[in-house]
Amino acid sequence: MEILSTPSLMRDWRKAQRGTVGLVPTMGYLHEGHLSLVRASVAENDLTVASIFVNPTQFGPNEDFERYPRNEERDLAMLKDAGVAAVYMPGVDVIYPGGYETYVVPGATAELREGGSRPGHFRGVATVVLKLFNATGADRAYFGRKDAQQLRVIRRMVTDLDVDIEVVACPIVREEDGLAMSSRNVYLGSEDRKAAVVLSRGLAEAKAAYAAGERGADVLRAIVRSRVGSEPRAALDYVSLADEVTLAEIEGRLERPALLSLAAKFGSTRLIDNVELGLPD
Ligand code: AMP
Protein backbone atom coordinates (compact mmCIF):
# COMPACT_ATOMS: atom_id res chain seq x y z
CA MET A 1 0.00 0.00 0.00
CA GLU A 2 1.44 3.34 -1.08
CA ILE A 3 1.26 6.37 1.20
CA LEU A 4 1.21 9.66 -0.67
CA SER A 5 1.47 13.05 0.97
CA THR A 6 1.23 15.68 -1.77
CA PRO A 7 -1.10 16.31 -4.74
CA SER A 8 1.74 15.87 -7.23
CA LEU A 9 2.82 12.50 -5.76
CA MET A 10 -0.82 11.45 -5.71
CA ARG A 11 -1.35 12.47 -9.33
CA ASP A 12 1.86 10.75 -10.49
CA TRP A 13 0.74 7.54 -8.80
CA ARG A 14 -2.68 7.71 -10.45
CA LYS A 15 -1.15 8.36 -13.90
CA ALA A 16 1.01 5.25 -13.52
CA GLN A 17 -2.03 3.01 -12.87
CA ARG A 18 -4.36 1.35 -15.33
CA GLY A 19 -8.05 0.77 -14.73
CA THR A 20 -10.61 2.52 -12.56
CA VAL A 21 -9.86 4.19 -9.24
CA GLY A 22 -12.39 4.51 -6.42
CA LEU A 23 -11.83 7.18 -3.75
CA VAL A 24 -12.98 6.97 -0.13
CA PRO A 25 -12.48 10.35 1.59
CA THR A 26 -12.22 10.17 5.40
CA MET A 27 -11.00 12.14 8.40
CA GLY A 28 -9.49 8.97 9.86
CA TYR A 29 -10.17 7.25 13.19
CA LEU A 30 -11.79 4.59 11.09
CA HIS A 31 -14.72 2.33 11.99
CA GLU A 32 -17.01 -0.13 10.21
CA GLY A 33 -18.88 2.73 8.52
CA HIS A 34 -15.70 3.82 6.73
CA LEU A 35 -14.78 0.22 5.96
CA SER A 36 -18.17 -0.38 4.31
CA LEU A 37 -17.30 2.42 1.86
CA VAL A 38 -13.87 0.90 1.24
CA ARG A 39 -15.43 -2.51 0.57
CA ALA A 40 -17.91 -1.02 -1.90
CA SER A 41 -15.05 0.71 -3.70
CA VAL A 42 -12.81 -2.36 -3.74
CA ALA A 43 -15.69 -4.39 -5.22
CA GLU A 44 -16.45 -1.87 -7.97
CA ASN A 45 -13.01 -0.54 -9.00
CA ASP A 46 -9.63 -1.89 -10.06
CA LEU A 47 -7.90 0.19 -7.36
CA THR A 48 -9.06 1.99 -4.24
CA VAL A 49 -7.54 5.14 -2.77
CA ALA A 50 -8.53 6.21 0.75
CA SER A 51 -7.73 9.69 1.97
CA ILE A 52 -7.16 10.68 5.58
CA PHE A 53 -7.31 14.41 6.22
CA VAL A 54 -8.84 16.24 9.16
CA ASN A 55 -9.91 19.34 7.29
CA PRO A 56 -9.62 22.51 9.40
CA THR A 57 -11.79 24.64 7.08
CA GLN A 58 -14.90 22.58 7.81
CA PHE A 59 -14.62 23.10 11.59
CA GLY A 60 -15.97 26.21 13.28
CA PRO A 61 -13.76 28.20 15.68
CA ASN A 62 -15.39 26.57 18.74
CA GLU A 63 -15.55 23.07 17.32
CA ASP A 64 -13.41 19.99 17.90
CA PHE A 65 -10.68 20.30 15.22
CA GLU A 66 -7.82 20.18 17.74
CA ARG A 67 -9.21 17.27 19.71
CA TYR A 68 -10.69 15.31 16.79
CA PRO A 69 -9.62 11.68 17.42
CA ARG A 70 -6.62 10.45 15.44
CA ASN A 71 -4.92 7.04 15.14
CA GLU A 72 -2.86 6.87 11.98
CA GLU A 73 -1.18 3.55 12.64
CA ARG A 74 -4.42 1.71 13.29
CA ASP A 75 -6.15 3.40 10.31
CA LEU A 76 -3.35 2.34 7.94
CA ALA A 77 -3.47 -1.27 9.15
CA MET A 78 -7.26 -1.35 8.65
CA LEU A 79 -7.01 0.12 5.15
CA LYS A 80 -4.25 -2.29 4.14
CA ASP A 81 -6.33 -5.22 5.39
CA ALA A 82 -9.34 -4.01 3.44
CA GLY A 83 -7.39 -4.01 0.16
CA VAL A 84 -6.68 -0.31 -0.33
CA ALA A 85 -3.96 0.35 -2.94
CA ALA A 86 -2.94 3.84 -1.83
CA VAL A 87 -3.60 6.26 1.01
CA TYR A 88 -3.56 9.99 0.34
CA MET A 89 -2.53 11.67 3.59
CA PRO A 90 -1.54 15.30 2.99
CA GLY A 91 -0.64 17.72 5.79
CA VAL A 92 -2.71 20.85 6.46
CA ASP A 93 -0.02 23.13 4.97
CA VAL A 94 0.04 21.00 1.80
CA ILE A 95 -3.71 21.41 1.29
CA TYR A 96 -3.76 25.05 2.44
CA PRO A 97 -0.31 26.53 1.83
CA GLY A 98 0.48 30.18 2.56
CA GLY A 99 -1.47 32.42 0.19
CA TYR A 100 -4.33 29.98 -0.18
CA GLU A 101 -7.56 31.87 -0.99
CA THR A 102 -9.86 29.88 -3.27
CA TYR A 103 -13.02 28.15 -1.99
CA VAL A 104 -16.07 26.36 -3.35
CA VAL A 105 -19.20 28.07 -2.03
CA PRO A 106 -22.26 25.78 -2.15
CA GLY A 107 -25.79 27.19 -2.46
CA ALA A 108 -29.25 26.45 -1.03
CA THR A 109 -28.57 22.74 -0.44
CA ALA A 110 -25.94 23.75 2.13
CA GLU A 111 -28.23 26.13 4.02
CA LEU A 112 -30.16 25.10 7.16
CA ARG A 113 -29.55 21.91 9.14
CA GLU A 114 -25.76 21.34 9.35
CA GLY A 115 -25.18 24.48 7.28
CA GLY A 116 -27.32 26.53 9.67
CA SER A 117 -25.74 25.21 12.84
CA ARG A 118 -22.19 25.14 11.44
CA PRO A 119 -21.67 28.28 9.32
CA GLY A 120 -19.01 27.73 6.65
CA HIS A 121 -18.94 23.96 7.23
CA PHE A 122 -19.98 22.97 3.70
CA ARG A 123 -17.72 25.58 2.11
CA GLY A 124 -14.85 23.74 3.79
CA VAL A 125 -16.21 20.33 2.85
CA ALA A 126 -16.88 21.18 -0.80
CA THR A 127 -13.47 22.79 -1.18
CA VAL A 128 -11.49 19.91 0.25
CA VAL A 129 -13.55 17.28 -1.56
CA LEU A 130 -12.95 18.98 -4.91
CA LYS A 131 -9.22 19.12 -4.10
CA LEU A 132 -9.28 15.38 -3.25
CA PHE A 133 -11.09 14.63 -6.52
CA ASN A 134 -8.49 16.64 -8.46
CA ALA A 135 -5.45 15.13 -6.73
CA THR A 136 -6.60 11.50 -6.95
CA GLY A 137 -8.11 11.59 -10.44
CA ALA A 138 -10.63 9.04 -9.17
CA ASP A 139 -13.42 7.68 -11.38
CA ARG A 140 -15.81 7.07 -8.49
CA ALA A 141 -16.07 8.51 -4.98
CA TYR A 142 -17.81 6.82 -2.06
CA PHE A 143 -19.77 8.72 0.58
CA GLY A 144 -21.91 7.54 3.50
CA ARG A 145 -25.61 8.38 3.80
CA LYS A 146 -24.82 9.12 7.45
CA ASP A 147 -23.74 12.61 6.28
CA ALA A 148 -26.88 13.06 4.22
CA GLN A 149 -26.62 16.80 3.60
CA GLN A 150 -22.94 16.50 2.74
CA LEU A 151 -23.79 13.87 0.13
CA ARG A 152 -26.33 16.19 -1.52
CA VAL A 153 -24.00 19.20 -1.42
CA ILE A 154 -21.30 17.13 -3.13
CA ARG A 155 -23.67 15.74 -5.78
CA ARG A 156 -24.78 19.32 -6.51
CA MET A 157 -21.15 20.52 -6.75
CA VAL A 158 -20.25 17.68 -9.14
CA THR A 159 -23.21 18.56 -11.38
CA ASP A 160 -22.71 22.32 -11.20
CA LEU A 161 -18.92 22.32 -11.74
CA ASP A 162 -18.90 19.54 -14.40
CA VAL A 163 -16.68 17.31 -12.28
CA ASP A 164 -15.96 14.03 -14.07
CA ILE A 165 -16.58 11.61 -11.20
CA GLU A 166 -19.38 9.26 -10.18
CA VAL A 167 -20.63 9.82 -6.62
CA VAL A 168 -21.70 6.57 -4.95
CA ALA A 169 -23.83 6.68 -1.77
CA CYS A 170 -23.50 3.89 0.82
CA PRO A 171 -25.95 2.90 3.62
CA ILE A 172 -25.53 4.00 7.24
CA VAL A 173 -23.71 1.43 9.39
CA ARG A 174 -25.07 1.26 12.95
CA GLU A 175 -24.05 -0.15 16.31
CA GLU A 176 -26.16 -3.05 17.63
CA ASP A 177 -28.50 -0.72 19.53
CA GLY A 178 -29.04 1.47 16.46
CA LEU A 179 -26.61 4.35 17.13
CA ALA A 180 -25.04 5.42 13.82
CA MET A 181 -21.31 4.73 13.87
CA SER A 182 -19.18 7.87 14.08
CA SER A 183 -15.61 8.71 15.00
CA ARG A 184 -17.13 11.15 17.50
CA ASN A 185 -18.91 8.37 19.45
CA VAL A 186 -15.60 7.88 21.26
CA TYR A 187 -16.25 11.19 23.08
CA LEU A 188 -19.41 9.81 24.73
CA GLY A 189 -19.26 8.80 28.39
CA SER A 190 -21.15 5.61 29.23
CA GLU A 191 -24.36 7.40 30.32
CA ASP A 192 -24.45 9.55 27.19
CA ARG A 193 -23.58 6.54 25.04
CA LYS A 194 -26.65 4.71 26.38
CA ALA A 195 -28.84 7.79 26.06
CA ALA A 196 -27.76 8.41 22.44
CA VAL A 197 -29.93 5.53 21.26
CA VAL A 198 -32.93 7.94 21.33
CA LEU A 199 -31.73 9.44 18.04
CA SER A 200 -32.06 6.32 15.93
CA ARG A 201 -35.14 5.29 17.94
CA GLY A 202 -36.97 8.54 17.24
CA LEU A 203 -36.14 8.28 13.55
CA ALA A 204 -37.24 4.62 13.46
CA GLU A 205 -40.53 5.49 15.16
CA ALA A 206 -41.22 8.19 12.57
CA LYS A 207 -40.30 5.79 9.80
CA ALA A 208 -42.71 3.19 11.21
CA ALA A 209 -45.48 5.83 11.35
CA TYR A 210 -44.67 6.73 7.73
CA ALA A 211 -44.86 3.04 6.75
CA ALA A 212 -48.26 2.87 8.49
CA GLY A 213 -49.51 5.74 6.30
CA GLU A 214 -48.70 8.93 8.25
CA ARG A 215 -47.91 11.75 5.81
CA GLY A 216 -48.13 14.88 7.97
CA ALA A 217 -44.72 16.57 7.99
CA ASP A 218 -45.36 18.17 11.40
CA VAL A 219 -46.55 14.88 12.86
CA LEU A 220 -43.46 13.02 11.63
CA ARG A 221 -41.12 15.73 12.98
CA ALA A 222 -43.04 15.73 16.28
CA ILE A 223 -42.55 11.97 16.72
CA VAL A 224 -38.77 12.47 16.57
CA ARG A 225 -38.87 15.54 18.84
CA SER A 226 -40.92 13.73 21.42
CA ARG A 227 -38.63 10.68 21.58
CA VAL A 228 -35.44 12.75 21.74
CA GLY A 229 -37.12 15.16 24.19
CA SER A 230 -37.87 12.23 26.51
CA GLU A 231 -34.12 11.87 27.16
CA PRO A 232 -32.86 14.58 29.53
CA ARG A 233 -29.23 14.05 28.45
CA ALA A 234 -30.08 14.96 24.84
CA ALA A 235 -30.15 18.60 23.66
CA LEU A 236 -31.86 18.64 20.29
CA ASP A 237 -30.39 21.04 17.73
CA TYR A 238 -32.84 20.46 14.83
CA VAL A 239 -35.25 17.98 13.30
CA SER A 240 -35.78 18.39 9.57
CA LEU A 241 -38.07 16.73 7.07
CA ALA A 242 -36.95 17.85 3.65
CA ASP A 243 -37.17 17.05 -0.04
CA GLU A 244 -34.88 14.09 -0.69
CA VAL A 245 -32.86 15.88 -3.40
CA THR A 246 -33.08 19.66 -2.88
CA LEU A 247 -33.43 19.53 0.91
CA ALA A 248 -36.17 22.18 0.78
CA GLU A 249 -38.06 21.82 4.09
CA ILE A 250 -41.48 20.17 3.65
CA GLU A 251 -44.61 21.82 5.05
CA GLY A 252 -48.00 20.12 5.04
CA ARG A 253 -48.22 16.66 3.53
CA LEU A 254 -45.34 14.58 2.37
CA GLU A 255 -45.84 13.66 -1.29
CA ARG A 256 -42.33 12.92 -2.49
CA PRO A 257 -39.40 10.94 -1.10
CA ALA A 258 -37.98 12.83 1.88
CA LEU A 259 -35.02 12.99 4.21
CA LEU A 260 -35.77 13.03 7.94
CA SER A 261 -32.65 14.23 9.74
CA LEU A 262 -31.57 15.55 13.11
CA ALA A 263 -28.66 16.76 15.19
CA ALA A 264 -28.40 16.65 18.98
CA LYS A 265 -25.78 17.24 21.62
CA PHE A 266 -24.91 14.96 24.50
CA GLY A 267 -22.71 17.11 26.70
CA SER A 268 -20.26 18.69 24.24
CA THR A 269 -20.59 15.86 21.69
CA ARG A 270 -22.72 16.70 18.67
CA LEU A 271 -24.24 13.75 16.80
CA ILE A 272 -26.25 13.55 13.56
CA ASP A 273 -28.48 10.86 12.10
CA ASN A 274 -31.17 10.44 9.45
CA VAL A 275 -33.56 8.12 7.65
CA GLU A 276 -34.96 8.30 4.16
CA LEU A 277 -38.72 8.07 3.76
CA GLY A 278 -40.36 6.85 0.59
CA LEU A 279 -37.30 5.22 -0.91
CA PRO A 280 -36.47 1.52 -1.00
CA ASP A 281 -34.17 0.57 1.93
P1 AMP B 1 -15.68 11.12 8.27
O2 AMP B 1 -14.38 10.43 8.53
O3 AMP B 1 -16.57 11.19 9.47
O4 AMP B 1 -15.53 12.43 7.53
O5 AMP B 1 -16.48 10.17 7.27
C6 AMP B 1 -15.93 9.77 6.04
C7 AMP B 1 -16.99 9.09 5.21
O8 AMP B 1 -17.50 7.96 5.92
C9 AMP B 1 -18.19 9.99 4.91
O10 AMP B 1 -18.62 9.77 3.58
C11 AMP B 1 -19.21 9.52 5.91
O12 AMP B 1 -20.54 9.74 5.49
C13 AMP B 1 -18.91 8.04 5.97
N14 AMP B 1 -19.42 7.48 7.21
C15 AMP B 1 -19.14 7.90 8.47
N16 AMP B 1 -19.85 7.18 9.37
C17 AMP B 1 -20.61 6.30 8.65
C18 AMP B 1 -21.58 5.31 8.99
N19 AMP B 1 -21.91 5.05 10.25
N20 AMP B 1 -22.13 4.60 7.99
C21 AMP B 1 -21.82 4.86 6.69
N22 AMP B 1 -20.92 5.78 6.31
C23 AMP B 1 -20.33 6.50 7.27
pLDDT value of residue 71? 98
Ligand 1: centre distance to CA 9 (Å): 26
Give me the chain's average pLDDT, please.
Answer: 97
Nearest-CA residue for atom 17 of ligand 1:
33
Cα of 170 vs centre of ligand 1, distance in Å, is: 9
Give me the pLDDT at residue 280, please: 64
What pLDDT is stored for residue 8 in this prediction?
98
Q: Which residues line ligand 1 (CB under 6 A)?
A: 26-27, 33-34, 36-37, 143-144, 146-147, 170, 172-173, 180-183
Nearest CA to ligand 1 atom 13: 144
Q: Which atom of ligand 1 sits closest to the CA of residue 34?
A: 8
Q: Is the pLDDT of residue 37 over 90?
A: yes
Ligand 1 pocket test, pick from 35, 37, 143 with the greatest ligand atom count within 8 Å of Cβ, gives 37
Q: How many CB atoms lie within 10 A of CB 256?
A: 11
**Catalytic sites, residue numbers:** 34
| 146 alpha carbon – ligand 1 mean position (Å) | 6
- The answer to whether 54 and 8 are in contact (CB under 8 A) is no
Nearest CA to ligand 1 atom 15: 33
Amino acid identity at 153: V
What mean pLDDT is predicted for residues 246-262? 96
182 C-alpha vs ligand 1 centroid, how far in Å? Answer: 7
- pTM check: above 0.85: yes
Which of 182, 121, 117 is CA-nearest to residue 154? 121
Q: What percent of the chain stands above pLDDT 70?
A: 99
pLDDT tens digits, 125-160: 999 999 999 999 999 999 999 999 999 999 999 999
Nearest-atom index, ligand 1, CA of 28: 2
Contact between residue 156 and residue 107 where contact means Cβ atoms under 8 Å apart: yes
Residue nearest to atom 5 of ligand 1 (CA): 26
Atom of ligand 1 nearest to the CA of 173: 20
**Residue closest to 57 by CA, chosen among 156, 130, 148:** 130
Q: How far is the CA of 264 from the centre of ligand 1 (A)?
A: 17
Give the residue-averaged pLDDT of 258-270: 98
3-class secondary structure per residue, the chain: CEEECCHHHHHHHHHCCCCCEEEEEECCCCCHHHHHHHHHHHHHCCEEEEEECCCHHHCCCCCCCCCCCCCHHHHHHHHHHCCCCEEECCCHHHHCCCCCCCCCCCCHHHCCHHHHHCCCHHHHHHHHHHHHHHHHCCCEEEEECCCHHHHHHHHHHHHHCCCCCEEEEECCCECCCCCECCHHHHHCCHHHHHHCHHHHHHHHHHHHHHHCCCCEHHHHHHHHHHHHHCCCCEEEEEEEEEECCCCCECCCECCCCEEEEEEEEECCEEEEEEEEECCCC
Query: pLDDT tens for residues 50-83?
Result: 999 999 999 999 999 999 999 999 999 999 999 9
> What integer is the mean pLDDT of 168-172?
98
The preferred substitution site among 147, 186, 261 for testing ligand 1, maximizing ligand atoms within 8 Å of CB, is 147
Q: Would you place residue 281 in the very low, low, confident or very high pLDDT band (cuts 50, 70, 90)?
A: low
Residue 18 has pLDDT above 70, yes or no: yes
